[in-house]
Amino acid sequence: MSRLANTIKNAKVSVFFHIIFIFTQFFARKIFLENLGDDFMGLTGTLQSFLSFLNLAELGIGTAIGYTLYKPIFDKNYKEINQIIHFFGNIYKKIGFIIIGLSLILSAFFPLIFENTNIPLSLIYFAFYAFLTSSLLGYFFNYHMLLFQADQKEYMVAKYFQSFNISKIVLQIIFVFYFQSFIIWISLELLASLLFTISLRRKTTKEYPWLKLSYKKDQERKNFESYPELIKKIKQISLHKLGTFVSNGTDNILIFSFISVETVAFFGNYQLIIANFATLLNKLFSGTNASVGNLVAENNEQSIKQVFWELMSFRFFIAGIVVIAILTLVDPFIMLWLGEKYILTKTTVSLFALNFFILQIRQPVDVFKQAYGLYSDTWAPVAQSVINLGVSILLVTKFGLTGILLGTSCSLILIIMLWRPYFLFAKAFRWPFISYVIGFIKLLITFLPIYFVIQYIIHNFLIFKIVNFYDWILFSAMVVSITIILYGGVLYITDKYFRDLIKRLKRSLRFFK
């Protein structure tokens, strides 16, 4: 099966399950806010951000292992794959113990951290350690999951994960609606993780019967010493993980610290919508990483250039559609879904859209950067973290949520949009960076006029009052349809790579019929 066919198969399964997950999640969020309260939902968001910080101890090993697996999978070198997975498992278990230790230290300060919270401290501890246990299962039992992703079979993991996740949310809705029980809500989080772990481990044994999940103790040191390049990559990726966390994981902590735990819930509503858009796109491109890794292993420069610009044009297309949807459709949806109380300012929503756009159009650069194992620019994530936190803390007292998002925007523009593509072109592609600048500007110039035209059409020709979800769905369908037709049409006419990709997608879709 071709790389594109594998990518489409992964995408179809992942998108199908995630769409179902989105519907259950949005319905559940309203039930949870009404029956458990803004403070509790804000608390869970804050605790999960703390765990994201502790998970920095993972040091990016998963990314490094994925990069290391592409070649032996391409060569069908099962012995090498077993050694890498064995190495991976041993290191992950050690990291799991480190996270346990850090969690014990952090939780000792909970009486100070949450002294102004109305939620009982015992419940906070129970929630934290339930979330922690769910996270640790991946370190001790599901570390082999990355083999599915590197082998372009991520759809298998998606089926199990989303099935348990959706079932968990449905049960949480039922128990919360009838009993308003915090304990049951948290317990179901843990139970779903346990069942997913057991099921996925059984699937791994069935799918890869040659994979040995345990080795003799005397082999561990030898395997560790066999991967000096991997150790080097892990050290480099650890700093990149720091930059990613500061960009994506500190917002809730800053809001909790400088504003209020209730505002974490308000922020979380928009974050839920936009994160689901982002996750849906990641599912759509779920097989891309492994496919690009396979492509880089072939080392065909012309194919690499073709695929890179096809992905860039398609990401611009998808990101453009979603950005217009965020700016136009999210506020009316929040109004109908939760009420006017939860609406954020236009400036805040615009920054949500800008950050989303940057994070989407940078994906092709990151995918190829990962495929080449290009992580030596360790200063960049440190600079990104400093810019993000510095600007956020400087502006949060005056501008609130807007100030925090501005900090993220500044760091993304300087490091993600400017530095990373330069580094990729200079160190991996070895093509003139000006070619990237020209291609990027061309795609951006194509989008901007379309954005203003669509906004003009919306504000002058699609004027009607949205009073229920039927009105919102009708309005959304018109906005998205107009965007797809206008933006897609202009891109198809002006961009060769977008035309090539659409033609190949059509051929692959005919293959699956």
SS (H, E, C) 395-421: HHHHHCHHHHHHHHHHHHHHHHHHHHH
CB atoms within 10 A of CB 263: 18
The predicted structure's pLDDT at residue 509: 62
Position 216 confidence tier, pLDDT thresholds 50, 70, 90: low
Report the C-alpha gap between 446 and 140 in whole angstroms: 48
DSSP state, residue 425: I
For residues 415 and 383, the answer to whether their CB atoms sit within 8 Å is yes
Nearest Cα to Cα of residue 82 among 94, 70, 69 = 69
Question: Is residue 220's pLDDT more than 50?
Answer: no
Report the C-alpha gap between 159 and 281 in whole angstroms: 17
Can you read off the two tokens belonging to residue 122? 């015992």
Neighbouring residues of 420: CB distance < 8 A, sequence distance ≥ 6: 362, 365, 366, 369, 377, 380
pTM, two decimals, is 0.74
> How deeply is 490 buried, as exposed, middle or buried, from its count of CB atoms within 10 A (0-12, 13-18, 19+)?
middle
Q: Which amino acid makes up residue 150?
A: A
Question: Is residue 199's pLDDT more than 90?
Answer: no
Report the C-alpha gap between 373 and 65 in whole angstroms: 10
DSSP state, residue 90: H
Residue 464, SS3? coil
pLDDT tens by residue, 349-396: 999 999 999 999 998 998 898 888 788 888 888 898 889 999 999 999
